[in-house]
């Protein structure tokens, strides 16, 4: 029986949320959808039996029947949308990033304070945290198998050139003629930054970054961006992100080097290998394949909801957080930490690689969920 009413805005990516809530989460009814493409919104509303259609986000927020908002809109809109939803008394599940642009760093703290003030739930949908490779590495760190982490790498490379122009027009990924999607502070970069920050269990405190736009120089943002972070425990972390390159496919590469063991990923097929030191800080042993451990989910559900089941897990966790009155897994503090780290790396890149100190965020709302 449904106990929550959803309003979904942005029906490109948001269509997967519509399908997930409609088909797989019984506690939710989708009460309204919103998109600037009214024809598409009406078509999906008919297909899924959604009673109300809006073309303006403000009208969706004014709908008193809607308990929470789920966004599928371009990343540069998310910070404003989160603040507006919270002020309207709505919980919000925002796709990544919660905040994107270099001039919006302040919104990370504003959103944290809004959640603390209102008591509403905010979650950032970060699908790759639910990836078996990410979960497996987090478990190795928590169990002490890696030992003390010394160095880590995380990459997101995904050539999205085919999405820059659609039907002869620039898309939001290439600009709309206004705000172009950033690399390291947008979806891909947040995957890489948030994954590795969660895996090693340490926050980022400072960053130096560099980038270039050699591959597609007509864009107003870099194709390649690389950031070097320092963590609260003194670990060096390298994160690289690319949205335009000659290599096909989507790659989420990670590696960890610790005092007891090291893990490296294969960029081509994603296989992880582990080598254990013969003694802590001693000679390395042979490389062995690493068995992955993830969360169980029906293969058909994972396929239909998208991102290997990450969309389902995020939606399920967010609904449970509202019903159980707890923090979501990727809650406002986790979102703020990763988005602020990404934005500060972008600031460093834009200013020629100067060191930038990253704001810190402290949980004031209670225990956080752990999925392992």
**For 207-237, what is each residue's pLDDT tens digit?**
999 999 898 887 778 889 999 999 999 999 9
- 109: domain CATH number is 3.40.50.720
Confidence check: pLDDT of 194 > 80: yes
User: Is 351 domain-assigned?
Assistant: yes
136 plus 255 within the same structural domain: yes
User: Is 366 domain-assigned?
Assistant: no
Place of tokens 């899924």: 48
User: Is 108 domain-assigned?
Assistant: yes
pLDDT (mean) for 290-295: 91
140 plus 122 within the same structural domain: no
pLDDT (mean) for 254-276: 90
For residue 240, name the pLDDT band (cuts at 50, 70, 90).
very high
232 plus 311 within the same structural domain: no
Compare 164 and 367 and report the one with higher pLDDT: 367
User: Is 369 domain-assigned?
Assistant: no
243 plus 324 within the same structural domain: no
The first and second tokens of residue 291, run together, are 């068995």
114 plus 219 within the same structural domain: no
User: Is 66 domain-assigned?
Assistant: yes
Share of the chain above pLDDT 90, in %: 76
Confidence check: pLDDT of 311 > 80: yes
122 plus 165 within the same structural domain: no
pLDDT at site 273 = 93
Confidence check: pLDDT of 51 > 90: yes
pLDDT at site 108 = 98
Q: Alpha-carbon distance 84 to 89, whole Å? A: 9
The first and second tokens of residue 102, run together, are 């270099």
161 plus 252 within the same structural domain: yes
For residue 102, name the pLDDT band (cuts at 50, 70, 90).
confident
269 plus 200 within the same structural domain: yes
pLDDT at site 258 = 96
User: Count of domains in the chain?
Assistant: 2
Q: Which of 26-40, 160-174, 217-231, 330-344 has the lowest mean pLDDT?
A: 160-174
82 plus 153 within the same structural domain: no
For residue 172, name the pLDDT band (cuts at 50, 70, 90).
low
For residue 173, name the pLDDT band (cuts at 50, 70, 90).
low
Confidence check: pLDDT of 177 > 60: no
96 plus 68 within the same structural domain: yes
Mark out the alpha helices in the chain (DSSP H runs).
Answer: 14-24, 38-48, 57-61, 78-87, 106-118, 132-143, 187-200, 299-305, 310-324, 332-350
Q: Which of 165-174, 217-226, 289-298, 330-339 has the lowest mean pLDDT?
A: 165-174
User: Is 179 domain-assigned?
Assistant: yes
Confidence check: pLDDT of 164 > 80: no
176 plus 39 within the same structural domain: no
User: Is 143 domain-assigned?
Assistant: yes
- Is residue 17 within 8 Å of 69, Cβ to Cβ? no
For residue 167, name the pLDDT band (cuts at 50, 70, 90).
confident
- The boundaries of the domain holding residue 72 are 4-126+307-333
User: Is 214 domain-assigned?
Assistant: yes
How are beta strands 68-71 and 169-170 bridged, if at all?
Answer: unpaired
99 plus 119 within the same structural domain: yes
Q: DSSP readout, 279-329?
A: STTS-EEEEEEPPP------HHHHHHHSGGGHHHHHHHHHHHHHHHT---T
For residue 270, name the pLDDT band (cuts at 50, 70, 90).
confident
Phi, psi of 240 (to 5 degrees): -125, 145
- 138: domain CATH number is 3.30.360.10
Average of per-residue pLDDT values in the chain: 92
């Amino acid at each position: 029986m449904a106990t929550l009413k959803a309003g979904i805005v942005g029906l490109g990516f948001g269509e997967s949320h519509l399908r997930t809530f409609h088909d797989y989460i019984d506690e939710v009814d989708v009460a309204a959808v919103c998109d600037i493409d009214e024809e598409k919104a009406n078509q999906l509303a008919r297909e899924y039996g959604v009673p109300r259609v809006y073309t303006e986000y403000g009208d969706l927020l004014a709908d008193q029947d809607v308990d929470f908002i789920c966004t599928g809109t371009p990343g540069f809109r998310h910070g404003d949308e989160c603040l507006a939803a919270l002020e309207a008394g709505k919980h919000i599940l925002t796709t990544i990033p919660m905040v994107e642009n270099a001039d919006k760093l302040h919104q990370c703290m504003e959103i944290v304070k809004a959640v603390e003030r209102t008591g509403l739930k905010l979650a950032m949908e970060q699908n790759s945290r639910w990836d078996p490779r990410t979960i497996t590495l987090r478990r190795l760190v928590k169990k002490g198998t890696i030992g003390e982490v010394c160095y880590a790498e995380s990459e997101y490379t995904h050539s999205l050139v085919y999405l820059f122009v659609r039907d002869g027009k620039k898309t939001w990924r290439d600009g709309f003629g206004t705000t172009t999607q950033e690399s390291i502070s947008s979806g891909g970069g947040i995957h890489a930054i948030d994954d590795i920050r969660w895996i090693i269990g340490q926050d980022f405190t400072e960053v130096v970054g560099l980038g270039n736009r050699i591959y597609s120089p007509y864009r107003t943002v870099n194709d390649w961006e690389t950031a070097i972070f320092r963590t609260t425990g003194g670990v060096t972390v390298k994160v690289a992100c690319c949205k335009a390159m000659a290599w096909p496919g989507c790659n989420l590469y990670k590696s960890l080097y610790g005092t007891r063991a090291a893990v490296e990923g294969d960029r081509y097929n994603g296989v992880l290998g582990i080598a254990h030191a013969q003694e802590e800080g001693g000679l390395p042993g042979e490389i062995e394949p690493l068995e992955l451990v993830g969360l169980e989910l029906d293969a058909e559900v994972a396929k239909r909801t998208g991102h290997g089941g990450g969309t389902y897990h995020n939606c399920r966790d967010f609904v449970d957080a509202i019903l159980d009155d707890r923090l979501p897994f990727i809650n406002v503090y986790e979102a703020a930490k990763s988005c602020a780290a990404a934005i500060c790396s972008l600031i460093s890149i834009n200013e020629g690689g100067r060191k930038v100190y990253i704001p810190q965020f402290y949980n004031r709302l209670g225990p956080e969920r752990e999925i392992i």
